[in-house]
Amino acid sequence: MARTKHEKTEYEKCRRVFRSQSARHVLVLEVDMSEDMKRRAFSLSDRLRVCGNKLTAKLEKGLAQLIRTKKYRALLKDYGELTERLKRSPDNEAIKKARKEIASKMSEMQKAYHVSWDDACTYMQFLKDRDDLNSIFALSRVEDIGAGVEKVLFGGAETIHFKKRGELPEIRAKQINRGIVLYVADGKLYFKCSNIGNEKFTTKILDKFQQDEVNRLLDYLASPEQKDEMAVSAMMETGEITDTFRPCYGALVCKKIRGKLRVYMHLTIEGHAAPKYKTDGVTPRHTFGNGRIGIDIGTQTVAYTSDKEVGLKNLSERGLSIFHAEKRERQLLRKMDRSRRATNPDNYNADGTIKKGYKKWVKSKRYIEIQKEHANLCRKNAESRKYAIHEDVNHLRCIGDTVITEPPNFKALQKRAKQKDTQSARETTQKKNQRRKRFGKSLKNRCPGTFQAVLKTRFEMTGGVYHEVQKMFRASQYDHTADDYIKKKLSQRMFALEDGEVVQRDWYSSFLLYNANPDFSAPDRETCLKTFGTLNEMHIKMIDYIKHAGIHVLNSGIAC
């Protein structure tokens, strides 16, 4: 007997719309399971890594052949041009239609070279049967790899990357009742993953904020249908999207910390995260301010201006310990390099460069110990940077609710110098003139792109407004006293305005962003003239405080 297709009711259709429009957040809880189950979880994650690398290798070959064709490169160029035009005029139907036609041609070529989504799924089905993997875990890994392939196919990246040994992907099930199944018993959350054992495991609740999230989760699971009906009816009547705290799916993340195996549950939940309160349970942990904030995000520092406060500080910094930790990282890398060269002398040329071709690398016991120390230090530094970024963003949200900043351009800073077109031009140009600063260490240690992404997310999620000025705003060149654009060297951090007033370059850029005109195309000179006196006094006090406190603000031109 043939199966009949289930006709969705009006309520089910509305519920699907609600779930597609609602926000989501992730609750991270440490898993309480036996050491044997942890080892099996690590083994499962490593098998997913190996299968993912095999799929990546197959797709990489097809991508290389596809990108090599002139036809696809021409389509990619046209697609990029139409996308830029569509940003300037989003309601133009002719551009939309033309871009859709080009996307269709690109899709046909992708299928012909076996780099489409269906090809990736088909090959992963073969790999997961051979390596005895759960289908839902394998397809989740395909999603991650497919996101990287899509960037390459549409010009957002140059190549896809493999995961080396030790980089364990998360074990993710995109349904809460498959792969990693959620249970409730005795007011606690229990999970079961048959691929790592038949025993149920629970999670550790380490603080009040996690307990509040779990309580809301249990409240939803007590009567899920009733909560969904209330949320859908509220959306239909008022258009408001309420937070239901429905568990969507879970993922197991394996980490090795200080030599111990640790497994974490990343539980994706429907709705915004529960508000955090202080120990009294009444006072909000973070307050939300009102007003404009002009923010200039550099490669190492952030400067901001508001009517309440001005500031200039290093990005991703919590105290001075990060300087010592970064220095220790560099020392360990040099140690590892010396050990590697001493243990594998046959892999190097006489001038110290690495030989080409396949090589076998031997790791000494000393090298392995240093490698573990370096990995642990990198982990701690990454956590410190993450906390510092969130602390800075929360502070900015306390000052105001409207952010005005420049669009991110950190990828452009990392580009190589352009190659010379002719042989004669290459011969006459000295090597030192071909180089350009690429800000590698600054971007790695200070994470300005992550800061800007977190800033945008936090303001939009908490009812604030995030604005990016137009590309020709040129905050670093404008002088409001002369009403003119004056180019400056990158090394010139302090400069004098036309009227003789000396200002710090990054702060002055944030001041101009604070005084942007309504369409964010240029600074509003009249507003600049009105507010400069008061804000400049705050700016002078800020510089005096930095000098007297002995704070080293990187690349600021302020001598301690």
Please tell me the distance from the alpha carbon of residue 380 to that of residue 382, in angstroms, as a whole number. Answer: 5
Please tell me the distance from the alpha carbon of residue 149 to that of residue 356, in angstroms, as a whole number. Answer: 28
Same domain, 94 and 207: no
Amino acid at 152: V
Would 367 be classed as within a structural domain?
no
Give me the mean pLDDT over the 473-500 stretch. Answer: 88
What confidence score (pLDDT) does residue 558 get? 87
Same domain, 54 and 200: no
Mean pLDDT score of the chain: 90
What confidence score (pLDDT) does residue 424 get? 57
498 pLDDT above the threshold of 90: no
Same domain, 57 and 121: yes
Same domain, 452 and 542: yes
Would 385 be classed as within a structural domain?
yes
pLDDT in tens, 23-51: 999 999 999 999 999 999 999 999 999 99
Would 241 be classed as within a structural domain?
yes
Residue 62 pLDDT class (50, 70, 90 cuts): very high
3-state helix, strand, coil in the chain (%, to 5): 50, 15, 35
| β-strand pairing of 301-305 with 310-314 | antiparallel
Same domain, 26 and 62: no
Same domain, 209 and 311: no
Please tell me the distance from the alpha carbon of residue 259 to that of residue 118, in angstroms, as a whole number. Answer: 40
Same domain, 98 and 246: no
Least confident of 393-397, 410-414, 426-430: 426-430
What confidence score (pLDDT) does residue 491 get? 84
Same domain, 255 and 119: no
What confidence score (pLDDT) does residue 418 get? 66
For the chain, the domain total comes to: 3
pLDDT in tens, 327-355: 999 999 999 999 999 999 999 999 999 99
Same domain, 99 and 219: no
Most confident of 97-101, 407-411, 412-416, 431-435: 97-101
Would 538 be classed as within a structural domain?
yes
Structure token pair of residue 216: 């809301």
Structure token pair of residue 205: 């609740």
Would 6 be classed as within a structural domain?
no
Would 23 be classed as within a structural domain?
yes
Least confident of 94-108, 280-294, 381-395, 527-541: 280-294
Same domain, 114 and 133: yes
Same domain, 391 and 523: yes
Residue 255 φ/ψ, nearest 5 degrees = -135, 145
Q: Residues 157, 160, 166, 167: is their CA dihedral positive or negative?
A: positive
Please tell me the distance from the alpha carbon of residue 114 to that of residue 413, in angstroms, as a whole number. Answer: 34
Same domain, 162 and 132: yes
Would 39 be classed as within a structural domain?
no
Range of the domain at 201: 19-34+173-270
Residue 483 pLDDT class (50, 70, 90 cuts): confident
Would 286 be classed as within a structural domain?
no
